[in-house]
Chain A
Amino acid sequence: EPEVTQTPSHQVTQMGQEVILRCVPISNHLYFYWYRQILGQKVEFLVSFYNNEISEKSEIFDDQFSVERPDGSNFTLKIRSTKLEDSAMYFCASSGASIQSSGANVLTFGAGSRLTVL
């Protein structure tokens, strides 16, 4: 079964450093997403990306964050000048169609990248 692959599985960084989390979505998918989950809390939407641009973003996704699809296979989340409160599990997801039209069953999540900011 096709998977969404995320790297690294765990990254430890110093406060103020920049991190890039990488995702390889399912190959024929068109919609890409980042969510985060602070330990013990709910999953929170960050951003969705379609047709090479951001289509939706939450209040969490401020200027500290950026996303990019640098080539035909990768989808990255960059966090500049990390803060302690950025420590969380970051989930990438992809879908072949929009959730509104086809339902959430088309959405596949990766296993996540755990970010620890010291």
Chain B
Amino acid sequence: GESVGLHLPTLSVQEGDNSIINCAYSNSASDYFIWYKQESGKGPQFIIDIRSNMDKRQGQRVTVLLNKTVKHLSLQIAATQPGDSAVYFCAENDAGNMLTFGGGTRLMVKP
């Protein structure tokens, strides 16, 4: 079936460096993509989203890039901080209110 997946299960970065977390999706009907952060013991927390009519969207220290040609989504975190350590999920939506989540990447920030 259609799925959303991630290339890297764990990413370790030095504090202050930039982080890039990648996600591949296979549902070409998806028109809306979201990145979530999940800290231990908590529910997913919205970070940033992008609709399929855009290829880039910036937030505070975060940027999401969408490449519809190769069905690839990435999350860039600038100047990564220890508080960014978490599991990051991409999610997609093609209709209605259902979100399909990817498998998650654990980001570990070394001080």
Contact = CB atoms under 8 A, between A and B. Distances in A.
B97 interface: yes
Nearest to A59: B1
Closest 7 CB pairs of A and B: A109-B43, A43-B101, A104-B34, A42-B101, A48-B97, A99-B97, A42-B103
Interface stretch (B14-22, B62-70, B75-83, B88-96): B88-96
A31 interface: yes
A45 B100 contact: yes
A48 B43 CA distance: 17
A41 B103 CA distance: 6
Nearest to B38: A43
A28 interface: no
B91 A56 contact: no
Interface size class of B (residues with CB under 8 A): 20 to 34
Contacts, number: 71
Interface string A98-112: 111001110101111
Given A99-B97, A100-B97, 10 more contacts: A4-B43, A31-B97, A33-B97, A45-B98, A58-B98, A99-B96, A104-B46, A104-B93, A105-B49, A111-B42
Interface of B: 32, 34, 36, 38, 41-46, 49, 89, 91, 93, 95-104
A75 interface: no
Interface residues of A, number: 28
Contacts of B91: 43, 104
B32, B34, B43 — most chain A CB neighbours (10 Å): B43
Contacts of B34: 104
Contacts of B93: 99-100, 104
Contact of B43 (A31, A56, A91, A100): A91
B46 A105 contact: yes
A55 interface: yes
